[in-house]
Amino acid sequence: MTSQPIPSPHQLPVGSKYCADPDCAHCKEARAALASRFRATRTSKILAYAALVSNFLFAAFLGVLWLDHKRHTSLPTPGGTYPIGFTSFVWTDAHEDPLAPPHTQRELFVWMWYPATPSTNLPLADYLPASWRRAVEREMGFLPTNFLTRDLSRVHLHGVRDAEVAAKHPMYPVVLMRGGHSALTADYTSFAEDLASHGYFVVGFDAPYRTFVTVRSNGQVIKRLPQNNAEQVSGEEQRRVAERLVQDWSGDMSFVLDRLEELNTTSDSSGRFRGRLNLQRVGAFGHSLGGAEALQFCHDDIRCQAGVDVDGAPVGTVIADGVKQPFLFLLSDHSREPAAETNPVKANIHSVYDRLPSDDRLQVVVQGANHYNFSDGGVLKAPLLMRVLHRLGIIRLEGRRQIVVSAHYVTTFFDVHLRGLPPSRLQDRPDFPEARSVN
């Protein structure tokens, strides 16, 4: 039997267990390399498992959002007693729209809600016509459309299309309504239905090249022009774009009021609306830039008798001149925003507000309210997403609650100043602790 020679430690393979020299630098390096490879392998496995779990959770999250997207949704129940009617028009004239391509006539898509007689044989109105809904979904994109909002074809309204006007009173006051920036009028259906249920004609409208997207009867889709997007610019340029938009929309509000006068007298072939609109009692309200438009309209047109600005920064000549009509500023909670941003807006609001008689002005802050949730988006966004935003502190007041509280103040302000209800109706209420009046 022959014995094998024992190799020198320095002749052993790297990492050999037979190296007997504890101070061997070569073997120390080998052991360190092995340990490093082990740690790298373990880390890569952990990362792989983490990625697998993350992908599973994300897929599950999208699955829940997708299922929720398909659920049926009802807008907040209107607070009034009238059933609601709904109809629409397309109105044009020879006036050239300065914010559209050259030589384009003014064209407005008009949506109207009103107090109606009860009806069981007429269909409920759609949230948006099918052609508009498809265009909006294409422009919003796949993810927001299918995962972050409810399916607009499954949103249930309270208005009945083309119902007869309620016979309880011969005439009803009129409120013109404007959405925020390029938002569609339909985005404020909750406000419109609440006002109509209290006995108001509510008239909103969209304009090609300024509204996010509009659709003509022939199927032509018209998108907002980039030069009409105040959100793409900043500073002085943003102010100029906003002023142009406010002035043009204010002119459109006057045009709509002219056409309502015609509808009220001779042009309604059906006779459904003839003599039913009380155009001696006209109000205007809007959200965000639409609030600035309502404010400027009341400055420009003496037919406006009361107005509401919902969380909109004043823009235009109204800041220096003020208004003579009763006005409500309904504001979201801006307490967490930098003073450098909010102070100029507050100063412009008070430039108008402070010159009004105390009986003709009101400023209400809805604590915890989010600027964007004054629209129906507070109800139609995915609930799971809203819960996440709530946990992050971005959303503090539930969207449906924000609309209900806000609609109460909008409707009640018009009740006091267009219908003569007692001003005590506007006092702070214990059932709406989120809202408080401020000077």
User: Running DSSP on this structure, what letter comes out for residue 106?
Assistant: E
pLDDT of residue 431: 92
Please enumerate in sequence order all residues whose Cβ is within 8 A of that of 191, keeping only pairs 6 or more positions apart, or say none: 177, 202, 285, 403, 406, 407, 410
Q: Which of 18-27, 207-216, 379-388 has the highest mean pLDDT?
A: 207-216
- Phi, psi at residue 50, to the nearest 5°? -65, -40
DSSP 331-344: EE--TTS-HHHHHH
Indicate if the pLDDT at residue 422 is higher than 90.
yes
Q: Are 275 and 170 in contact (CB under 8 A)?
A: yes
- Phi, psi at residue 368, to the nearest 5°? 80, -5
Indicate if the pLDDT at residue 94 is higher than 80.
yes
- For residue 273, give the nearest of 85, 79, 27 by alpha carbon: 85
pLDDT category at 58 given cuts 50, 70, 90 is low
Indicate if the pLDDT at residue 60 is higher than 50.
yes
Q: What is the mean pLDDT of residues 72-84?
A: 94
> What span, in angstroms and rounded, lies between the C-alpha atoms of 369 and 395?
8
Lowest mean pLDDT among 64-78, 270-284, 360-374: 64-78
Q: Are 389 and 395 in contact (CB under 8 A)?
A: yes
pLDDT of residue 78: 96
Lowest mean pLDDT among 53-62, 81-90, 244-253, 301-310: 53-62
pLDDT of residue 407: 97
Indicate if the pLDDT at residue 241 is higher than 70.
yes
> What span, in angstroms and rounded, lies between the C-alpha atoms of 149 and 280?
40
pLDDT of residue 180: 95
- Phi, psi at residue 171, to the nearest 5°? -140, 155
Q: Which of 14-28, 148-162, 307-321 has the highest mean pLDDT?
A: 307-321
Q: Which of 35-49, 55-69, 262-276 has the highest mean pLDDT?
A: 262-276
pLDDT of residue 143: 77
Lowest mean pLDDT among 90-99, 119-128, 236-245, 273-282: 119-128
- Residue 230: its H or E element: none
pLDDT category at 61 given cuts 50, 70, 90 is low
pLDDT category at 149 given cuts 50, 70, 90 is confident
pLDDT of residue 228: 96
Domain locations along the chain? 76-437
- Report the length, in residues, of the chain: 439
Q: What is the mean pLDDT of residues 36-42?
A: 71
Indicate if the pLDDT at residue 89 is higher than 60.
yes
The two structure tokens encoding residue 162: 């083309």
> What span, in angstroms and rounded, lies between the C-alpha atoms of 11 and 23?
15
Residue 357's Cβ-count burial label (10 Å; 0-12, 13-18, 19+) is exposed
pLDDT category at 144 given cuts 50, 70, 90 is confident
Residue 310 vs residues 177, 180, 187, 349: alpha-carbon distances, Å = 11, 9, 14, 12
Indicate if the pLDDT at residue 44 is higher than 80.
no
> What is the β-pairing status of strands 213-215 and 221-223?
antiparallel
Give the domain 76-437 fold.
Rossmann fold (3.40.50)
Q: Are 177 and 200 in contact (CB under 8 A)?
A: no
pLDDT of residue 41: 76
- For residue 291, give the nearest of 244, 349, 230, 343 by alpha carbon: 349
pLDDT category at 9 given cuts 50, 70, 90 is very low
Looking at beta carbons, which pairs linking 60-64 to residues 24 or more positions away fall under 8 Å? Answer: 61/384, 62/147, 64/384
